[in-house]
Amino acid sequence: MTIEKPWSASSKLNPLTRAPGHDMSEMFPQSPEAAAELATNLTTVFERGQEVWSKLLEAAPGPDKQVRVDPFNAGPAFAELWLSMMSDPNKLAEQTLKYWNDQAELWRRAALRAAGTEVEPLATPARGDKRFADPDWSENVVFDALKQSYLLTAAYFTETAHSAGDLEPGDRKKVEFFTRQFVEAMSPSNFFATNPQVLRATMEERGANLVRGMEHVLTDLERGHGTLLIQQTDLEKFKVGENVAVTPGQVIYRNDVMELIQYAPSTDKVQARPVLICPPWINKYYILDLNPKKSMVQWLVDQGHTVFMISWVNPGPEQAGKEFVDYIAEGLFEAAARVLEETEAEDLHVASYCIGGTMTGAALAYLADNPAHPLSGKIASATFFTSQFEFSDAGELQIFVDDPQLEALGEQMIGGTLGADKMASAFNMLRASDLIWSFVVSNYLLGKDPFPFDLLYWNSDSTRMPGKVHKYYLETFYRDDALALGEMRLGHSLLNLGKIAIPTYHIATKEDHIAPAASVYRGVRLSGGDRRFIIAGSGHIAGVVNPPAGGKYQFWSRDDDAFPETVEEWRAGATETPGSWWVDWDSWLKTLNDNRTIEAQQPGRRHNALGAAPGDYVQVRFDTPVPAPASSGPMPE
């Protein structure tokens, strides 16, 4: 007669079992040789750990350098939360009592399940949460209870941060953000002893996975010069100009701020008006030219557009003195003038992305106030990809912008530039589970080599930023909201978005955590001229880089000119269209052109080509020296 064990959740499932008949205890070393191999590998892990600590200590600030205890200035917000909570202790007591009652109920259900009774889970991961995808998180009673206990605790902290006390909106946002960072960091999936997948891999590989993981840690510390710079993809599998950023073209102009790329036509006839793209200077431009299947640049060329791209310099000490106005004058305005000269067109379309769009919006307001400027009347339309003009509630990046943090940012400038890792870390924190902790588990605990993925290669190919430009941008837009309030000046002009009279096309994305759709929409309402606004599916990157051939996502649009007060009201009257918004944008551009076409021209007809696309500036990684600017020769008469 078979006697069932009292901890069984079913007739054949015990706490160390992830499936009937599969006992994780069998993973433990079954022979002296296996045990010896495990011991040897764990000894190696310990030795590598000592090397890691040594490198961290070498990179640590010396006793003569002042270290900010609270670099994100989060302490005051949490102190305010605590004081506010203490003013209403009954509400806190109710929330805490509910939490402990839920925990007690969880253990009651876990005990029933261990005894063989089927029970419904008390807490389940959110849809799309990949941390608990391994079957043991659900099928193993112990790990299932651990997972649910964590989810209950995470919900308790998150809800407390969201609703407890009476905080200013800025303080509330900061409390919520850093609470989420803590909650995601403490997930049991992030730790060796509480992750069943890691435990199983360690037993199966006799600890070899941990040895490889420590080697990855050491490599990442060397790449980051003492800072842990997590490798998100196989960096050796990609090379700019070979398998990313490969659309054919020529660099036709270069100064010490940007290179101007003209792409080769793929059609005999092209639209009469060229298109100039102004990407953000905070990233490399080739997110819009990732590979032939995903390239917006190649797709536009194939639709018969003559496309130019600004490729911003990866700045070094030579650019330390550059200011925001220089990026407009020597970047956007200079590029536009060169495009008009090269094509002999009467005017052009400008498209811009993220903070490149914010700068373009300010530049257009400046042109509207300066009709004598050479470019006044030369920009026929402007398109904005996830670009904000109004920053009263501008998303989670706003929590990094207050006076103490801006002061700390100034202390991090080296040679007048801000290191690429500083902003890259901030962006990764916005999606910490996906962009930080998933790689900690995969690279360091499971010892896997990063998977080659072009988007993550681009994400890791960060750029430095001129200190003055970046500080001005954060202060003027994120902190002061000066453009939206009509308080921003360029030269002698007080900028007014309402003076912009040219047609504009604005794209927001539904799940954008960097430029939320509501924030983009508020900026659109401040603008003048004929405006077309759409909301695309997905987020800040995938919602923009969504080629029609992929058949993914959708977009919402309206054919009327109504711009009600909120984006929710606008969305209620919008029509959903499956697929990519690129087709809609192409039609809009061609309608503005009256579909007038001319003979296609090869790049460099008037400006001598300086080299093949993607050019020199985009090749410079954050950890390599910046080349001296090459002369582009005199402007043609």
pLDDT given at position 489 = 96
**pLDDT(16) > 70:** no
End-of-domain residue from the set 190, 218, 240: 190
Is the same domain home to 170 and 307?
no
End-of-domain residue from the set 190, 213, 240: 190
Cα separation, 554 vs 546, in Å, equals 9
Retrieve residue 181's tokens.
């960072």
Is the same domain home to 272 and 391?
yes
> How many alpha carbons lie under 13 Å from residue 572 in its C-beta half-sphere?
7
pLDDT given at position 416 = 81
Mean pLDDT of the chain: 89
Percent of the chain with pLDDT over 90: 72
Is the same domain home to 573 and 439?
yes
3-state class of 4 per DSSP? coil
**pLDDT(635) > 60:** no
Over residues 458-474, mean pLDDT: 90
Query: Is 593 a domain residue?
Result: yes
Residue 29: pLDDT band by 50, 70, 90 thresholds? low
**pLDDT(628) > 50:** no
Highest mean pLDDT among 50-54, 163-167, 316-320, 362-366: 362-366
Residue 13: pLDDT band by 50, 70, 90 thresholds? very low
Query: Is 637 a domain residue?
Result: no
Give backbone dihedrals phi and psi of 17, rounded to 5 degrees, phi first: -115, 130
Please give the full DSSP string across 138-205, using - where no structure is assigned.
HHSHHHHHHHHHHHHHHHHHHHHHHHSS---HHHHHHHHHHHHHHHHHT-GGGSGGG-HHHHHHHHHH
Over residues 448-461, mean pLDDT: 93
Is the same domain home to 267 and 135?
no
Give backbone dihedrals phi and psi of 270, rounded to 5 degrees, phi first: -130, 160
3-state class of 348 per DSSP? strand
Cα separation, 443 vs 455, in Å, equals 18
Retrieve residue 524's tokens.
């659109």
pLDDT given at position 395 = 84
Cα separation, 281 vs 331, in Å, equals 10
Is the same domain home to 257 and 167?
no
Is the same domain home to 184 and 253?
no
pLDDT given at position 119 = 94
Q: pTM of the entire structure?
A: 0.89
**Residue 179's domain spans which residues?**
17-30+70-190
Query: Is 203 a domain residue?
Result: no
Over residues 126-131, mean pLDDT: 92
- What single-letter DSSP state applies at residue 60? S
Cα separation, 406 vs 412, in Å, equals 10
Query: Is 288 a domain residue?
Result: yes
Give backbone dihedrals phi and psi of 358, rounded to 5 degrees, phi first: -60, -45
Residue 441: pLDDT band by 50, 70, 90 thresholds? very high
pLDDT given at position 403 = 84
pLDDT per position as a tens digit, 304-356: 999 999 999 999 888 989 999 999 999 999 999 999 999 999 999 999 999 99
Query: Is 7 a domain residue?
Result: no
**pLDDT(624) > 80:** no
pLDDT given at position 186 = 96
- What single-letter DSSP state applies at residue 427? H
pLDDT given at position 486 = 96
Cα separation, 102 vs 99, in Å, equals 5
pLDDT given at position 25 = 56
* CATH number for 541: 3.40.50.1820
- Per the CB < 8 A criterion, the answer to whether 325 and 490 are in contact is yes
Q: Provide the number of structural domains found in the chain.
A: 2
Catalytic residues: 354
**pLDDT(600) > 90:** yes
187: buried, middle or exposed (CB in 10 Å: 19+, 13-18, 0-12)? buried
pLDDT given at position 637 = 30
Over residues 621-635, mean pLDDT: 48
Cα separation, 499 vs 529, in Å, equals 8
Residues found in the chain: 637
Query: Is 196 a domain residue?
Result: no
Cα separation, 302 vs 551, in Å, equals 18
Is the same domain home to 284 and 162?
no
pLDDT per position as a tens digit, 362-393: 999 999 999 999 999 999 999 999 999 999 99
Query: Is 228 a domain residue?
Result: no
Highest mean pLDDT among 121-130, 407-416, 420-429: 121-130
Distances (CA, A) of 558 to 110, 497, 531, 574, 584: 52, 22, 11, 5, 12
pLDDT per position as a tens digit, 190-226: 999 999 999 999 999 999 999 999 999 999 998 888 8
pLDDT given at position 11 = 32
Alpha helices in 186-289 (DSSP H): 196-205, 208-223
Cα angle value 400/225/409 (rounded, 5°): 25
Query: Is 352 a domain residue?
Result: yes
pLDDT given at position 614 = 97
Is the same domain home to 137 and 255?
no
pLDDT given at position 572 = 96
Retrieve residue 471's tokens.
């500080």
3-state helix, strand, coil in the chain (%, to 5): 45, 15, 40
pLDDT given at position 8 = 36
Question: Which helix (H) or strand (E) element contains residue 106?
Answer: helix 89-114
pLDDT given at position 68 = 72
Residue 10: pLDDT band by 50, 70, 90 thresholds? very low
pLDDT given at position 199 = 95
Residue 604: pLDDT band by 50, 70, 90 thresholds? confident
Cα separation, 309 vs 609, in Å, equals 14
Is the same domain home to 264 and 186?
no
Residue 618: pLDDT band by 50, 70, 90 thresholds? very high
**pLDDT(84) > 90:** no
Question: Which helix (H) or strand (E) element contains residue 578?
Answer: strand 575-578
Q: Which residue has the higher pLDDT, 544 or 58?
A: 544
**pLDDT(12) > 70:** no
Is the same domain home to 321 and 457?
yes
Distances (CA, A) of 67 to 30, 61, 71, 75, 414: 50, 7, 9, 15, 16
Q: How many beta carbons lie within 10 A of that of residue 493, not counting itself?
A: 17
Cα separation, 98 vs 508, in Å, equals 39
Cα separation, 128 vs 448, in Å, equals 22
Retrieve residue 199's tokens.
């435990």
Over residues 140-163, mean pLDDT: 95
Torsional sign, CA 278, 281, 285, 287: negative
Is the same domain home to 592 and 482?
yes
pLDDT given at position 5 = 38
pLDDT given at position 509 = 98
**pLDDT(2) > 80:** no
Is the same domain home to 576 and 440?
yes
